[in-house]
Structure 1
Amino acid sequence: MAIQYLENSCNDQEQITALYDNVKWTAYTDDVPNLMQAIAHSLSVITAWDNNHLVGLIRVVGDGYTIIYIQDILVNEAYQNQGVGSALMQRVLDKYRDVRQKVLLTIDEPGVRAFYEKHGFKSCDKGSLVAFAKLHA
């Protein structure tokens, strides 16, 4: 498997919708035009491709100097646990290595927690920080 990683190169609505649907992120695909606008207005989008098939995506928002927020990282179920997510994450961490605050919000499951901790993230429930979120239903 030779995965190719590309930056800011995906506006294929069909492939993006299929990827988000594959990982069951239907809150995004319930409003595809809004998803496409969000991707277009992101600070950075890095995609993973197997030939011409989109298999992964990481999306960053923020100013790129003092803070980045990793909004989405998703990998097609058939490609999970093969290093694609780690490769996407490492590309973002390398690109924004000098940015002091790298933030994300995710579900609390052991495998998810382990993935982010492997990449140097610390949970706010295990340190001196507190995190707040106000989510629109």
Structure 2
Amino acid sequence: MDIKYSFDDKPTAKQVIELYDNCGLPRPTRDKERIQKMFDNSNLIVTAWHEDLLVGVSRSITDWVWSCYLADLAVRQEYKKAGIGKKLIQLTKERVGEQSMVLLLSVPTAMEYYPKVGFVKQESSFILNRADWQ
């Protein structure tokens, strides 16, 4: 399987919505405008493509010298276990460099995944929740 990774090929909101719905990532996929803004306001996006099909994405916000918040990591169901998520994380880390940490908030279903790809679980996070979006 030939997967192309890119920092330049930006997906459309429609492609992102289809990917997120396919893999079960809980995002406001019924709000195309909000999804578009999420991508427009992110400054590090890595995509994975199988021909013209968006099969994975890593969407981050970073200052490039201290921290990188990995906001979304999504891989199409039928492409899971092919190393795509791990490669998206690797490319994200390579792009931000050694000075920057990569941190994330995991969805409950991915709690077992992140330690397998090198993340260390932390007990020191806090959150002010957003308004309900569903």
TM-score, normalised relative to structure 1: 0.86
Does the 8 A contact of 2:48 with 2:57 survive in 1? yes
Alignment match, 2:125: 131
Aligned residue pairs total 131
Alignment match, 2:55: 55
**Gapped regions of structure 2 (runs ≥ 5):** none
Q: Secondary structure at the match of 1:78?
A: helix
Give me the whole-angstrom Cα distance separating, in 2, the residues matched to 1:107 and 1:13: 21
Give me the whole-angstrom Cα distance separating, in 2, the residues matched to 1:80 and 1:18: 16
Write out per-residue CA displacement over residues 67-119 of structure 1, whole angstroms, 9 at most, x where no aligned residue: 1100000000010111111111110111123234321001344xx33432233
Alignment match, 2:117: 119
Change (3 A) 1:96 1:25: same
> Would you identify which runs of 4 or more consecutive aligned residues in structure 1 move more than 4 Å?
none
Give me the whole-angstrom Cα distance separating, in 1, the residues matched to 2:91 and 2:18: 23
Give me the whole-angstrom Cα distance separating, in 1, the residues matched to 2:34 and 2:122: 30
Alignment match, 1:92: 92
The structure in which a higher percent of residues are helix is 1
TM-score, normalised relative to structure 2: 0.88
